[in-house]
Amino acid sequence: MFDIGLNLTSSQFDKDRDEVVARAFEAGVKGLLLTGTNLHESEQAQQMAHRYARCWSTAGVHPHDSSQWTNESAEALRALTQTPEVVAIGECGLDFNRNFSTPQEQEYAFTAQLALAAELGMPVFMHCRDAHERFLTLLEPWLDKLPGAVLHCFTGSYQEAQDCLKRGLYLGITGWVCDERRGLALRELLPSIPAERLLVETDAPYLLPRDMKPKPASRRNEPTYLGHIVERVAHWRGENVQQLAAQTDENVRRLFGVQF
């Protein structure tokens, strides 16, 4: 099992980061991809990935932080990609739900990062919320120039999933699917995702699976719970857990080019 989405730079992990990573590996997680969401956190994620074995990172600017994008941003990200730990550009994309940055700022930063990924021949790690049509419009011209792309923490509709799959995207599934209040539609569309396009993640410290028994004492999510997500996804897809875990591991190797 490989967790493709872990926000290890979060202050929620400041007191026990070493233990969180150790617990994940003890629980059978084989590797971690640490998410960079702005220039500072991308640098932190790279440093953490260097510090811990079987960890890699992304380098990018999240749509929430798109207002921070400058001409120097691309150069700073390009420098980070020269390190062996950084294996994808992102987290980048669009989020028209909260608009912490204006839609125009988000679109500019997203396109700039797609261009950088195409230039460097790197995959992209993407975010999309309440912006599906515009997201695809901006992404589509770059798809044949990119080695691969994943829409992480996918929570969209069946049709949105099909739109992404038709364009060759991987879909990252989180513990959102374990939420009986808002994850039922995602649960139902799981069988429609080809196994070779499926990735799994915790998005920790967010999205603690709600159906774990006994419930963890803390509401903070951790990569050690990835096994629970994989088990539930396999159950709802009608697949063998070990086969699904092995397939998602192979997908990680194919998309990000990492060995673990």
Q: What is the pLDDT of residues 134-168, one digit of tens each?
A: 999 999 999 999 999 999 999 999 999 999 999 99
pLDDT for 110 equals: 98
pLDDT for 98 equals: 86
Find the mean pLDDT for residues 205-210: 96
What number of other Cβ atoms are within 10 A of residue 26's Cβ? 9
Mean pLDDT taken over the chain: 97
> Could you give the CA distance from residue 260 to residue 256 in angstroms, rounded to a whole number?
11
> Could you give the CA distance from residue 116 to residue 74 in angstroms, rounded to a whole number?
7
* Structural domain spans, the chain: 2-256
Enter the CATH code of domain 2-256.
Answer: 3.20.20.140
Find the mean pLDDT for residues 4-17: 98
Q: What is the pLDDT of residues 49-93, one digit of tens each?
A: 999 999 999 999 999 999 999 988 899 999 999 999 999 999 999
Q: Is the peptide bond before 223 cis (omega within 30 degrees of 0)?
A: no
DSSP secondary structure letters along 78-132 = HHHTTSTTEEEEEEEEEETTT-SS-HHHHHHHHHHHHHHHHHHT--EEEEEES-H
What the block records as the tokens of 95 is 């989020």
- pLDDT > 90 in the chain, percent: 98
Phi and psi at residue 55, in whole multiples of 5°?
Answer: -130, 140
Q: What is the pLDDT of residues 170-197, one digit of tens each?
A: 999 999 999 999 999 999 999 999 999 9
pLDDT for 71 equals: 86
